Chain A
Amino acid sequence: MDAARVGVITFPGSLDDRDAARAVRLAGAEPVTLWHGDHDLQGVDAVVLPGGFSYGDYLRAGAIARFAPLMAELVAAAKKGLPVLGICNGFQVLCESHLLPGALLPNAGLHFVCRDQRLRVEHAETAWTADYSQGQELLVPIKNADGRYVADQETLDELSSSGRIVARYLDLNPNGSLDDIAGICNEAGNVVGLMPHPEHAVESLTGPSTDGLGFFTSIVKRLVNA
């Protein structure tokens, strides 16, 4: 059987597209390079929106990337169930696109934060977290300036009661995110946004752990079993 094909969209200013593609490969899928300026998802089975500073983060992080040509196709496909994982800048793009509720604002401490962060998986049944167990603790890097998740109280209550908070920060909230939120998903669970970087924790040589690999093996198993 052919390997699952997972697209990684590169925007001008993306930084972590290669690491994301590498994580996809290590998980056993075929990474497919997608270009923001195209209008073709090339029939991929899932998409990763990588970290970085798309369009220089001008205006607001993710605000201009949201209108990239390929995003029109991506938003339509995501609404039909295409699994999408947005990491860091990708999470910001997903919120600006209204595929996920809320928004990401400058860190409460106003500093760029780069550290190894402990997380707890709160929702192990999304397309991207099924290889984890509920409550599992992970150690993955976080590196962002605009990582403070905010949403109105009604949205926060809804996320919490419907189990759509995918991961929370442990020990220390690095950016002032409400309710210690590190990641959320849409109602169907196919679209996940995550502020920390699992793609930087897939090999012991370069990461603080290999805890991040599970996001990528989750999607590969789902696609193979589909």
Chain B
Amino acid sequence: MARVVVDVMLKPEILDPQGQAISRKLPQLGYEGVAAVRQGKRFELELDGPADDAALDRARKIAETLLANPVIENFEVRVL
């Protein structure tokens, strides 16, 4: 069964306090060298049919309609 992944991230200019909280924790755990963390969402769409161009177009429509809010978020669609 074909699976399409939609990654949703806050736009770079928008403050991500959750990512900052994660980032602040890393040095306390002994992990140095991470300048910043941004937190996003990953959706996996299981398709009835193949992940052809039409299915990817539909996934993009789903992403811009519901999964992401284009006012604040960017998304990427790819076949898993």
Chain A interfacial positions (CB closer than 8 Å to B):
59-60, 63-64, 67, 95-96, 101-103, 105-110, 148, 150-152, 176
Contacts and interface: CB of A to CB of B under 8 A. Distances in A.
A106 B17 contact: yes
A106 B66 contact: no
Contacts of B47: none
A215 B66 CA distance: 32
Interface of B: 10, 13-15, 17-18, 21, 66-67, 69, 71-72
B61 to A, nearest CB: 14
A63 B71 contact: no
Contact of B71 (A95, A108, A109): A95
Nearest to B13: A152
A59 B72 contact: no
A96 B69 contact: yes
B14 A105 contact: yes
A-B pairs, 9 with minimum CB distance: A103-B72, A103-B71, A108-B17, A110-B17, A103-B69, A150-B14, A60-B69, A150-B72, A110-B21
Contact of B66 (A63, A102, A151): A63
A105 B67 contact: no
Task: Point out which of A59, A67, A101, A106 has the most chain B C-beta atoms below 10 A from its C-beta.
Answer: A59
Contacts of A106: 17-18
Contacts of A108: 15, 17
Contacts of B71: 95, 101-103, 151
A106 to B, nearest CB: 7
